[in-house]
Amino acid sequence: MSSDDKNKDERRQHQRRVISLEGELLEPSIGVVKIYTIDLSEGGAFVALAADKCPPVGTTITLRLPGVLWGEQMSTVSGRVVRVTDQGMAVQFFDFDVG
């Protein structure tokens, strides 16, 4: 592991879990787009999506994900795009509440 990778892991506030969930990106500029999570934590998610479909870094977005994690059929969470790669985008949640 490089020192950069170690520093990224140390900055994480929440433990990530590798989990593939089918959901939706609700984005007015592109409509409703089917997405899949790559990983998920209380603080955010990495979403598989073609880079040309990802909103720009800093954009506020809404995701709808299966609510099995939250005790609901579907859950809607808002967040901010913090990184875009060839594999998809990292989203930091604003309103994730597990309590």
Predicted TM-score (pTM) of this structure: 0.78
Question: 15-93: what CATH class?
Answer: mainly beta
Q: Where are the alpha helices (DSSP H) in the chain?
A: 3-11
Mean pLDDT across the stretch 38-59?
Answer: 93
The chain-wide mean pLDDT, for the chain, equals 82
The fraction of the chain above a pLDDT of 90, given in percent, is 54
Q: Are 63 and 45 in contact (CB under 8 A)?
A: yes
Domain ranges in the chain are: 15-93
CB 24 within 8 A of CB 35: yes
Question: Distance (Å, rounded) from C-alpha 61 to C-alpha 24?
Answer: 11
Q: What is the mean pLDDT of residues 30-51?
A: 93
pLDDT of residue 7: 47
Q: How confident is the model at residue 71 (pLDDT cuts 50, 70, 90)?
A: low
Q: What is the pLDDT confidence band of residue 54, given thresholds at 50, 70 and 90?
A: very high
Stretch 29-40: mean pLDDT: 92
Q: Where is pLDDT greater, at 67 or 56? A: 56
Average pLDDT on 58-82 reads 85
